[in-house]
Amino acid sequence: MEWQYSRVDHLQPGACCLFCSRPLKSLKGIVISDGTREAYAGPNCAKKHLGAPEERLLDVARLAMLVVSDGDPSDEPPPVPAVDPVPQSGPEAIGGKASVARAPLPPLDSVVQYLRLRYEVMNGFKLQRSALLTEAYSSLQSGDLDETLRKRVAGTMRSAQANRTVFSERNVKICIGLNYWLHEALNNTPKERASFLEAMASTLHSRWSLSRGQLEAINKWGANLRRRVHGFPHLDVGIFDGVITPDFMLQKTKRDSKPGDGA
């Protein structure tokens, strides 16, 4: 399978463009995939080798900003990470030639986005998969998503939203955003001092939410980290307000069961 656009995501330290081997210095950039492997690509190389994207790219990196508070009385809010320009909907000028206007790309398919977030980004979360979602994601991977499966997943998403459960699209995005900052904190903390952060990450993976008290404790802990790591944010402690964890999920969590069927 040829390389194709996958998503926009945070770049790992030392990330290099697959095509030119140059280091990518921005905090987020383009991830490409050949179906089994993933790699990074600079925006110019991506467009040169893959062409302009035919649909909007799933931007996982943006989800990290969903959990950041509007302000912190003791710190300036973190700056928006610098970004390498991502190929836009219209071709850029090449070789000095004027670009040709293209119609805006259609919005991301919410059902496809939900499936991809659950199966490609939430690795490590308990109850990440379910029989329905696995069948739908397999259909998506083989080509176009089967319309019957699309309707069933859409119904599951509507139900989760109406009931405000942890499986709602909004909460999935918040979990991914918070998980990113917890991993950033862990990556900048000595192992011998990381037990609190590890416990918070484990709870998030098990229950898909944290309490206000736990988020406030992370903010207090983060005050020391912000002295060393510029831009580590003050988290919004109300991001999980009103979110409901289903009883069956709590029971599975208490038994420390293996990941099974979720929403």
Tens-place pLDDT, residues 208-244? 999 999 999 999 998 888 888 778 899 999 999 999 9
CA angle 206, 209, 214 (to 5 degrees): 105
Torsion of CA 123, 67, 219, 212, to 10 degrees: -90
Residue 92 binned pLDDT confidence (cut-offs 50, 70, 90): very low
End position of a domain, from candidates 87, 108, 129: 108
Instruction: Kindly state the DSSP code that residue 125 receives in the 8-state scheme.
Output: -
pLDDT at position 260 is 47
171/176 Cα distance (integer angstroms): 9
Judged against a pLDDT cut of 70, whether residue 204 lies above it is answered with yes
Q: Are residues 185 and 259 in the same domain?
A: yes
Q: Are residues 166 and 241 in the same domain?
A: yes
Q: Are residues 82 and 129 in the same domain?
A: no
Q: If you average pLDDT over every residue of the chain, what do you get?
A: 85
pLDDT at position 228 is 82
189/161 Cα distance (integer angstroms): 36
Judged against a pLDDT cut of 70, whether residue 95 lies above it is answered with no
pTM (2 d.p.): 0.79
End position of a domain, from candidates 108, 128, 146: 108
Please tell me which residue, 25 or 71, carries the higher pLDDT value: 25
Q: Are residues 86 and 102 in the same domain?
A: yes
Q: Are residues 79 and 209 in the same domain?
A: no
Q: Are residues 126 and 222 in the same domain?
A: yes
235/219 Cα distance (integer angstroms): 6
| Range name among 25-39, 73-87, 139-153, 164-178 with the lowest pLDDT average | 73-87
User: Can you tell me whether residue 6 is helix, strand or coil?
Assistant: strand
Token duo for residue 251 = 């029971």
Q: Report the domain count for the chain.
A: 2
**Counts for the chain of helices (H) and strands (E), in that order:** 8, 4
Q: Are residues 98 and 164 in the same domain?
A: no
Q: Are residues 100 and 230 in the same domain?
A: no
Please list, in sequence order, all residues whose beta carbon lies within 8 angstroms of the beta carbon of residue 202, skipping any fewer than 6 positions away.
none
Please tell me which residue, 53 or 197, carries the higher pLDDT value: 197
Q: Are residues 135 and 39 in the same domain?
A: no
pLDDT at position 256 is 56
Token duo for residue 84 = 């390498």
Q: Are residues 37 and 142 in the same domain?
A: no
Query: Cβ distance 60 to 8 under 8 Å?
Result: yes
Q: Are residues 120 and 41 in the same domain?
A: no
Q: Output b/e per residue, 194-221; b: 16+ Cβ within 10 A.
A: eeebeebbeebbbbbbbeeebbeebbee
Q: What is the mean pLDDT of residues 24-49?
A: 91
Q: Are residues 130 and 247 in the same domain?
A: yes
| Containing structural domain, residue 74 | 1-108
User: Can you tell me whether residue 205 is helix, strand or coil?
Assistant: helix
How far is residue 48 CA from its own chain's centroid? 26
HEC secondary structure over 129-181:
CCHHHHHHHHHHHHCCCCHHHHHHHHHHHHHHHHHCECCCHHHHHHHHHHHHH
Token duo for residue 219 = 């903010």
Judged against a pLDDT cut of 80, whether residue 103 lies above it is answered with no
CA angle 250, 60, 136 (to 5 degrees): 60
